[in-house]
Amino acid sequence: MPERFDTVLRSYRRRAGLTQEELADRAGLSARTIRALERGQGRVPRVASVREVAKALELGADDQQHLLATASAEEFEGALGTGPLGPRQYLPYDTPDFTGRTAEVRRLADLLGGGTNAVVVSAIDGMAGVGKTTLAVHAAHLMADRFPDGQFYCDLHGFTPGHAPTAPASALEALLRMAGVDGARIPHSLQERSALWRTTLSGRRALVVLDNAADAEQVRQLMPGSASCAVLVTSRRRLLALEGAVPLSLGVLTEADARALVVRIAGRSRVGDASEAVAEIAELCGHLPLAIRMAAARLAHRPAWTAEDLVSELRAGSHASGDSGDGNAVSTAFALSYARLSPDLQRLFRLLGLHPGGDFDAYAAAALAGTDEATARQGLEELVDVHLLEQYVPHRYQLHDLLRRHTQEILRESEPPARQDEAELRLLDHYLRTALDARRVVAPGQRLLAFEIDRPSVDVPDVSDRATALAWYEAEHANLVALTTSAAARGRNEHVWRYAHVLQHFFDIRGRTLDWVATHELALAAVENLDNRLAHAEILTSLAIACWYAGRHEDAFGRGMEALALCREIDDAWGEAVLLTNFGIAQGALGQHEAAIDLHEQALALHADLDAPWGEALSLTSLGSVYARLGRTAEALDHHQRALDRYRGIGDPWGEALTLTNIGTGHRELGQFGEAVRHHARALALSRRTGDRRAESEILNDLGATYRAIGDHEAASRRRHERALHIARAIDNSPQIVRAHQGLAHALSKDDPRAARAHAEHALAIHGELTAPETAELAARVNALGEGEGEGEGEGEGEGEG
């Protein structure tokens, strides 16, 4: 009988001589959680929680794996792997009626069998519709057991009509998230993302499918660095410049395989002994899998048809086109399939070509068609049945590149521009309404500018709780950015700024800083063409914060200055207060404590006049942080407690986490270490629940400092600072990088003086950058904010948000 997790945990805790409360403190969990785990109550915790327990117990590598292996595989994703990656499969569905390609599959199997000293790369090239993706995905499924640490898939959209090729940096972000890397840990630059990707897969046996590549340059930075990994790349071009790639050029199906595919799709009972007709169907389809699937599916769904009837239809379509060749074979098969759809299905199919994203769900399709979700889903499934749509993951659909081109052609012929515009606006409003509902759930109390959505969807997804809201955002993130970009290109200025405004908080907490900056720069251009000065000020404020996080400090201060001037001009007290709070945080981080207090007090007064508890809470806890640095601990704790009451009153876990760790710091200064650890641990749990890695890096540094203050807890302190440093480096959070280096210098001073000195030197160098003359000059300009003469932007202990 296998060992139980609760039994193993209890045994290790007792061997370490710890009480349940002591283990909880060390692991950053509640004592109630530890008690529940040892009683076998409730769900098994996430892998991160069990690893925290293992580290707190200071288990060796073998014992750590033993503890992990006893956890439930179903609830404990990745625990049975050898590290943070674990077994992950992100491959699309394998095609159930895959036919032929025996030699190609065998060749790929030989390549992926291993035995080389470099990453195995196979570049599969061929014309559109020849089955490159189908082959790559089928081979990946067949060989999945050889790559137990993960199989990943990324569509690079190299040849997707109406869709720009995916930038390597964006592709790396998607791959890193699949590999379990939190979004806030993903660096901004392409080079750093590529390095993190190689590090994440280092020593792993993982398979990566890069589909629809434009050229070698697009995929070069996506290559793993470990010889235990393999990559399959598909492209319409031969990737001769891709170093080390083994080419596999895919032609049309052999005559025998093409006939077999016709029979398999149509059904043997439908074709009977009509071998000549089957052969002609394959021939008229140019032996192209895509064309065969569409044509044979029509036969399968027409009980009254014979194989000879389908031949006649295909001949007629071929003659009508007046063209020849493989591209015409697809066009003929498509025209036949499309013509046989009902009028409603025809309309749904052609409207799908208006969606600017890579995939979509039934709710989006319903919005385009102006119908309900159930009707749209039924229509989408019928389109999948006749091979006009692909469904690679449950409940999400996409168009083949060739078919997307056809939808755009028939749109021009069948849908007047006014009806196309109306469908696009329904789609934009559908996503905007859902994003707005999700934002209200995730960020209660923060200001959302008022606007009306003219075209409400008949049905919208359920985003009524934080988990579903974040899950929806993650699933639709790429679509939301694509919709914002598309709206900007179409001159839909109102939608552009509304999208940017609603999505800002998601970009922030999920670490998508580059998308934050890009969408807000589009929004800034949009509001400059509108008579909406409040929206203009709001976008400027948010863009300033985004630029700061992106390391564009001069832009951040410049945008912040513009925003503050505009807020004062239009009497936007909320916007002014948010900006003053952010400037105050920056001043506090630069050691300008009296100036920081003045700015925070101005902001607090403005928020109080507005009866805005979220803003009051942010100003109060920011003030408390400055008082704490001045040694005025009692005042600091009073301000933090008042802030905590307000955050809890509006149900905001983001603010609660921020304030709890500040309270923990206050208790540490008073020597109340148990209370300090308890508050830090609660804050850490909340920050992880909200997915806010910016806050997580700060809280880990606070917790590390608290363990160091306790004494004889250098190992616990070091672990927290190391993790804080890892996160802060990934998100370019310079103040927390400095704190982590300083904490590690202290924690290592006894056991490893050389390493401690290196950390101290790193901290000093980065601190010098933060206090360089140009930064000090900006700080001096901020000092004049009380008189409205200058502005700035920044971050420090506690985070501001507009």
Arithmetic mean of pLDDT over the chain: 83
Specify the pairing of strand 390-393 against strand 207-213.
Answer: unpaired
What average pLDDT score do residues 277-288 get?
A: 88
Among 762, 692, 671, 749, CA closest to 717 = 749
Helices (H) and strands (E) counted in the chain, each on its own, are 37, 7
Distance CA 349, CA 167 (A): 28
> Of residues 553 and 278, which shows the higher confidence score?
278
Helix (H) or strand (E) holding 392: strand 390-393
Among 73, 75, 79, CA closest to 53 = 79
* DSSP three-state, residue 247: strand
Among 325, 404, 318, 320, CA closest to 358 = 404
User: What does the block give as tokens for 672?
Assistant: 């109340």
Is residue 247 within 8 A of residue 136, CB to CB? The reply is no
Model confidence at 66: pLDDT above 70: no
Check residue 114 and give its pLDDT. 59
* DSSP symbol at 628: H
Check residue 700 and give its pLDDT. 92
* DSSP symbol at 286: T
Per-residue pLDDT band for 200 (boundaries 50, 70, 90) equals confident
pLDDT digits (tens, 9 = 90+) for 109-137: 888 875 555 577 888 988 888 889 999 99
User: What does the block give as tokens for 321?
Assistant: 């086109």
pLDDT digits (tens, 9 = 90+) for 358-400: 889 999 999 999 999 999 999 999 898 888 888 877 789 988 8
What average pLDDT score do residues 683-708 get?
A: 85
What average pLDDT score do residues 214-234 get?
A: 90
Q: What b/e sequence results for 652-683 when a residue is b if at least 16 CB atoms lie within 10 Å of its CB, and e otherwise?
A: bbbbbbbbbbbbbbbbbbeeebebbbbbbbbb
State how far the alpha carbon of 61 is from the alpha carbons of 65, 465, 716, in Å: 6, 38, 17
> Of residues 345 and 274, which shows the higher confidence score?
345
* DSSP three-state, residue 152: strand
Is residue 658 within 8 A of residue 640, CB to CB? The reply is no
Check residue 346 and give its pLDDT. 93
User: What does the block give as tokens for 139?
Assistant: 């081979």
pLDDT digits (tens, 9 = 90+) for 420-432: 999 999 999 999 9
* DSSP three-state, residue 793: coil
What average pLDDT score do residues 665-678 get?
A: 90
How far from chain centre, in Å, is Cα 275? 50
State how far the alpha carbon of 316 is from the alpha carbons of 58, 309, 332, 388, in Å: 75, 11, 9, 20
> Of residues 62 and 515, which shows the higher confidence score?
515
Question: DSSP labels for 411-442?
Answer: HHHHS-HHHHHHHHHHHHHHHHHHHHHHHHHH
* Neighbour tally for 471: CB within 10 Å: 14
Query: What residues are paired with 230 via a beta bridge?
Result: 120, 207
pTM score: 0.70
Check residue 225 and give its pLDDT. 83
Model confidence at 598: pLDDT above 60: yes
Distance CA 632, CA 655 (A): 22
Backbone angles phi, psi at 86, to 5 degrees: 70, 175
* Neighbour tally for 533: CB within 10 Å: 14
Is residue 792 within 8 A of residue 561, CB to CB? The reply is yes
Question: DSSP labels for 570-610?
Answer: TT-HHHHHHHHHHHHHHHHHTT-HHHHHHHHHHHHHHHHHH
Distance CA 126, CA 235 (A): 7
Model confidence at 158: pLDDT above 60: yes
Is residue 239 within 8 A of residue 132, CB to CB? The reply is no
Check residue 801 and give its pLDDT. 45
Backbone angles phi, psi at 42, to 5 degrees: 70, -165
* Neighbour tally for 551: CB within 10 Å: 13
Is residue 676 within 8 A of residue 703, CB to CB? The reply is no
Check residue 788 and give its pLDDT. 42
* Neighbour tally for 776: CB within 10 Å: 14
Distance CA 208, CA 194 (A): 14
